[in-house]
A and B are shown apart, each in its own frame.
Chain A
Amino acid sequence: MSAAVEARPTAEPRPQLRGKPTKERHGFRTFEFALMAPALLVLGLLSLIPFVMLIAMSFSKVKTLGGVSLEFAGLDNWTAVLGDGSVWASWGRSLVYFSSIVILEMALGFVFAVILHNLLRGRSVMLSLVLLPMFLAPVMVGLLGRFMLDSTIGLYAQLMQALGLDTDVFAKTSTALPAVIMIDVWEWTPLVALIMLAGLTSVPPATLEAASVDGAGFLRRLFFIAVPQMMPVILVALLVRSMDAIRYYDIITATTNGGPADSTKIIPIRLYEMAFRFNNQIGRAAVVGLTMLVFSIVLANIFVKVFGEKGAAHVTNVAGDKH
């Protein structure tokens, strides 16, 4: 972390009138900025305009039939959304969905990483195998989940039946949310495992051996020596998964689409419905979109604070620690 503080340019005084200072600050008429300009232009068009429009639409009645038109509607959309109990219920459900996904994936990912790290032979092949799910299209993963859990022909459903468990998981309000959570956990735990494994490999084996000589058992070494050193990596995994858990909703679209009885209707699904399915409540969808945006901006802020600086939290592999 000290590298990050050192690289921060804000601490330098501003050389304005001097001819050619050795540590010059860069302005907008430099080669560096010229390289950035095209990308920033495109990104500006694709992010600032939608952002301004989102704000404008949140205060308007939006019509899309026969040409788009906005009609100022004051705070109508805001009061409608904020006073809508079902939207709050969706937020609550999103919170359950979000925290379950993140907690389960972090915990399982850590366990997977520890297992793979201690595997002496065939680690590389096994890791490749474990990573497979995260390359699949989330919508396909949702459909695959439906197939595996189909109450009449699903492979996993039949195993569950053999164990005496309920099978029609997507049709019951009590099991639908856990089912879509588990599908997401299946797809993305490998990513957490991959990041955690990088953290584990970067812990110098010498410190672990020293602890071992001192009589520390496996679990003590893991939790009192490896985990504290892995903290930056654990935080990265947490942030990466958090931001995607909020972004994506493909799995739910492909499985329950919010049902049964709204039990899996998390906030992006609600937003999508408002905008595209039910009598065109685009203005209200814009309000929901803005509230979601606030959440992700806070998250992005944390991300940049912790990892945006040059050289911060770069965990490099110690050469020669591979088995």
Chain B
Amino acid sequence: MRRRSNLQKWLVPILAVVVGLWSAVPIAWMLITSLKPQTAIRTSGITLLFAPTLENFSNLFFGGNKVGSFLVNSLVVSLVSTFIAVALGCMAGYGIAHWRSRHSKGLSFWIISTRMAPIAAVIVPLFVMFRTVGLVNTLPGLIIACLSFNLPFAIWLMSAFFQQVPKSIEEAALVDGCNKFRGFWSVALPVSRPGIITTAVLCLVFSWNDYAFSSALGGPNTSTLPMAAGALVTQSGIDWGLLSALGVVVATPMLIAGLAVRRHLVTGLSLGAVTGE
């Protein structure tokens, strides 16, 4: 491995560029399309020369679609549900990581199985429940729906992060006279900050990107951005310029947030089963 062969010098970079293009081209094309004037989108040739315009973005926010209020709904639902999930998840995750009981294995299994439950199977009873208590088409309803997948995720992941905290640190704190609460609040929590941030970002991504729950349990008053995308399609013909602009608006914050925690991403997305970059 030490001597660089020609293979590693030339073939690997070329293949890496191919892999990069596979991922990046559709996203770049979406960005380019969002900046194109309508006429340049409709032509069937591949146009790369055009006068960039923000017309699609202004149509998106100031045209007939109330995308501004969808944006607010998306922000409220994802931020509030993420906050609740991470707060409860930190507490419960710490509890599970330290709870020695013959029930702890069963408990872990129950928690992970709620995260793995097929969305379609969960939506139906949730819809009936929400219908009974009047939560359909309300923001609290959507926040609760997001909790149904983000809470078990946050508990499970935070428990994995807390298990990585070296035992010696916590034991030292107890020897120094910390009680259990201080051990959690002043030792484990600060040490696990990267884990908490990663968990929060992933919860945010999941709830921000959710379409299945919000389309089944939401309604005209509670449309989120992904639902707006669905709505743009059902109208006669698809306005790709508008849709690309919406795609850029939906994707950009999540791309930034996701790449910001890239170092811990693999731990988060493998539910804590794999660590290291």
Contacts and interface: CB of A to CB of B under 8 A. Distances in A.
B43 to A, nearest CB: 8
Given A128-B259, A153-B41, A316-B275, A31 B180 contact: yes
A148 B29 contact: yes
Which of B2, B104, B181, B276 has the most chain A CB within a 10 Å cutoff?
A: B276
* Residues of A in contact with B, size category: 35 or more
A249 B122 CA distance: 13
Interface in B97-119: 97-102, 104-105, 107-114, 116-119
A138 B209 contact: yes
A308 B105 contact: yes
B230 to A, nearest CB: 6
Contact of B113 (A190, A232, A276, A296): A296
A133 B91 CA distance: 32
Contacts of B210: 137
B274 A199 contact: yes
Interface string A123-164: 000111111111111111001111110101101001000000
A139 B214 CA distance: 12
A131 B258 contact: yes
Contact of A47 (B2, B114, B230): B114
Main secondary structure of the interface of A (DSSP, over half): helix
A144 B233 CA distance: 12
CB-based closest 9 A-B pairs: A317-B276, A289-B121, A39-B92, A137-B209, A50-B125, A36-B95, A268-B120, A35-B95, A139-B211
B274 A131 contact: no
A295 B102 CA distance: 26
A315 B23 contact: no
Interface stretch (A78-86, A99-107, A170-178, A297-305): A297-305
B120 A135 contact: no
Interface of B: 1-2, 4, 7-8, 12-13, 15-16, 19-20, 22-27, 29-30, 33, 41-46, 88-89, 91-92, 94-102, 104-105, 107-114, 116-129, 131-132, 144, 147-148, 151-152, 155, 163-164, 180-181, 184, 205, 208-212, 215-216, 225-226, 229-230, 233, 238, 240, 243-244, 246-247, 250-251, 254-255, 257-259, 262, 265-266, 269-271, 273-277
A279 interface: no
A87 interface: no
15 contacts: A36-B99, A43-B152, A46-B144, A47-B148, A53-B129, A54-B125, A144-B30, A152-B44, A198-B277, A199-B274, A209-B2, A275-B123, A292-B121, A304-B109, A308-B109
Contact of B230 (A139, A267, A289): A139
A120 interface: yes
A128 to B, nearest CB: 6
A64 B132 CA distance: 9
Contacts, number: 347
A257 B87 CA distance: 37
B114 A43 contact: yes
A240 B44 contact: no
A31 B92 contact: no
B251 A135 contact: yes
A33 B251 contact: no
A147 B124 contact: no
Contact of A289 (B24, B107, B118): B118
A29 B107 CA distance: 16
